[in-house]
Amino acid sequence: MQAVILVGGEGTRLRPLTYGTPKPMVPLFGIPFLERTLGRLKEAGVDDVVLAAGYLPRAIEDHLGDGSRIGMRVSYVVEASPLGTAGALKNLADHITESFFVLNGDVLTSLDLRAMIAFHREHGGVATLHAIRVDDPSAFGCIVRDADGRIASFIEKPPRHEAPTNEINAGTYLLERSVLDSIPADCKVSIERETFPDLIASGARLVSYVTDDYWLDVGRPEQYLQAHGDVLDRKLELAPSGDRALSSRGRMWHVGENGAPAYVRLPVFIGEGVAIDPSAIVGPYAVIGDRCRVGAGAEIRDAILWDGVDIGADARISDAILASDVSVGRSAHVTTGAVVGHGARIAADTHVDPNARIVAKAETAASPTS
């Protein structure tokens, strides 16, 4: 079994984090999100993966190479311009020799991929789509199916009270190779909006695999924060375990655990080589990357700090995301939905605006295709 991971999007909603870091390389507890997705595939016995890349591909390739470090075979097909979710598959058709998974690069889920393979084999369609149930489907693509799971239609973002189902497309597909034949070449095509509905119209059998797994699209800052909170709350076990290359680099303390330092309010995650002044308070729900420094009297809660962040004395960080090498001056406040891009400096005593997006000047100038 092979897999394609779609990693070509620009990740505009996660800016400024994604100006220099493609979304798949955004860390989840110190490890790039994509590496965790690869770990899930490996656990399911899928070790031949093609990455459909386009935006900042070199950052991905520099980190993963040919995949041998993590015991997988990883290859890359880079789009000169975005081809959409189906166009991207057509573009790498030469790499696909058998049935294959397609995964959106930004979905965090506990879905059991092996169980999905078994379901696909048993139900025998050209495509099996993972679906999950949500309370409010109005922001998603809904999948309408019959009692056997056969998909009848797709409804994009229906008003909440008119939605015919609360089962939504969860962004993991298992496809027969023949699906590639139905995608036109060299043009932008959406698999959700074009390929799947066209296949249904032509009478093909597509099946919905509905589960109640944990599922979150981490493509926005609020969801990115939520993903960390959910892992700290143990709503999701981060896969896989036991493989050092894919495990967390730091230390996670959950509520009820003993042995956390006095400055910690559980739950928290603290990376390696971190220096925290004993008079600072870290947590709850603080995720501190490697080599961060937290000054005297500073407070950090409900926040994610990537590696090498420097927090000055008496600063307050809450409901915020700070990318790598950010520095926050003495008594500054970074709160209420703020997102600070790589290398930005927040001057002492500054109180940043709610939901501010702060960028170091050099960041936006990076060439997107290198």
Backbone angles phi, psi at 123, to 5 degrees: -95, -15
Place of tokens 């330092």: 261
**Cβ 78 to ligand GTP shortest distance, Å:** 9
Closest residue by Cα to residue 302 from 319, 316, 281, 288: 319
- Residue 111 CA neighbour count, 13 Å, CB half: 27
**Cβ 89 to ligand GTP shortest distance, Å:** 9
Q: Between 7 and 300, whose beta carbon lies closer to ligand GTP?
A: 7
- Quote the distance between the C-alpha of residue 280 and its chain's center: 30
Residue closest to ligand GTP (Cβ)? 9
Name the DSSP class of 118: H
Strand partners, 101: 3, 174
**Cβ 102 to ligand GTP shortest distance, Å:** 9
**Cβ 86 to ligand GTP shortest distance, Å:** 9
**Cβ 274 to ligand GTP shortest distance, Å:** 30
Amino acid 212 reads D
**Cβ 101 to ligand GTP shortest distance, Å:** 13
Strand partners, 169: 131
Question: Strand pairing of 310-311 and 286-288?
Answer: unpaired
Q: Between 35 and 79, whose beta carbon lies closer to ligand GTP?
A: 79
**Cβ 103 to ligand GTP shortest distance, Å:** 8
Neighbours of 345 (CB within 10 A): 15
Q: Between 217 and 290, whose beta carbon lies closer to ligand GTP?
A: 217
Q: Are 103 and 9 in contact (CB under 8 A)?
A: no
Q: Between 12 and 97, whose beta carbon lies closer to ligand GTP?
A: 12
**How far apart (Å, rounded) are the C-alpha atoms in residues 148 and 73?**
36
Amino acid 340 reads V
Q: Which residues bind ligand GTP (CB under 6 A)?
A: 6-13, 23, 52, 54, 79, 82-85, 88, 104-106, 219
**How would DSSP label each residue in 64-127?**
HTTSGGGTSEEEEEE-SS--HHHHHHHHTGGG--S-EEEEETTEEE---HHHHHHHHHHH--SE
Q: Between 28 and 300, whose beta carbon lies closer to ligand GTP?
A: 28
What the block records as the tokens of 149 is: 């799971």
Q: Are 196 and 161 in contact (CB under 8 A)?
A: no
Amino acid 21 reads T
Q: Are 35 and 249 in contact (CB under 8 A)?
A: no
Amino acid 41 reads L
- Quote the distance between the C-alpha of residue 302 and its chain's center: 19
Q: Between 221 and 329, whose beta carbon lies closer to ligand GTP?
A: 221
Q: Between 83 and 328, whose beta carbon lies closer to ligand GTP?
A: 83
What the block records as the tokens of 195 is: 């390929």
**Cβ 24 to ligand GTP shortest distance, Å:** 7
**Cβ 54 to ligand GTP shortest distance, Å:** 5
